[in-house]
Amino acid sequence: MTKIIKTISEWKQLKKSNAFKEKKIGFVPTMGALHSGHISLIETCINENDISVVSIFVNPTQFNDLKDLERYPRTFENDLHLLEKFKVDFLFYPGAKEIYPDNFKYRVVEDELSKILCGAFRPGHFEGVLTVVLKLLNIIQPDRAYFGEKDYQQYKLIDGMCKAFFLDIEIIPCPTIHEEDGLAMSSRNVLLTKEERKLAANFPRLLASEKSAEEIKSELEKLGFKVDYIAGLEGRRFGAVHIGKVRLIDNVEL
């Protein structure tokens, strides 16, 4: 049975118990609406650690569009069922006031990588991400934390933050999990209509092609996508597109 922890004080008290003595703690932070991509992170976490912790917190500070925050899928009962099925030890499930007692007055800012790609199109997004992740890591104090490579820019920023602030936590990237048609698993995929979902498969197909970034952008726009960017960086090609009201991201190794 997965034990639900809702407050920081409850978790701190629990960590003082003998059950945690000399045990390795693995941590997977999520915003819920769990899918196979999350499960792959969770299974790796369970296999590599003595104690597994998953958090579910839909972080309001990383949404630069309030409508996107309102639309974000919330499926707590199903999420809890999955965590229990895979025998996750603890679910950290805090409210916003627990995480932001200061109303986000203090925040983490990175001024290079966070300003390009998704950062250029979602102002303030990575400040919210880095701030909440730092808070969660400080609360849980895991030995290892797991992040999916679909959000590769996010992973690099979190890894860099941990190194910059000397956190003794191993940040472990895990491969992107794809649907059968190649679309990267995402909690937002469920918001696509049937027609949009069919169209979405063109995004990973073109992103992985040998075409140039400009050619890919042009073809996606002809198909009806709104393209934020198609760009290469550090041996990878990154892309972000909109289909209707849904924003999708992905990246591939070149």
List the catalytic residues. Answer: 38
Q: Which residue carries 């924003």 as its tokens?
A: 247
Separation of alpha carbons 57 and 139, rounded Å: 13
Q: CA 135 to CA 107: how far, in whole Å?
A: 10
Count CA within 13 A, CB hemisphere, residue 92. 29
For residue 175, count other CB atoms closer than 10 A to its CB: 12
Helices (H), 96-190: 96-99, 118-121, 125-140, 152-164
Here the tokens at position 187 are 């909690």
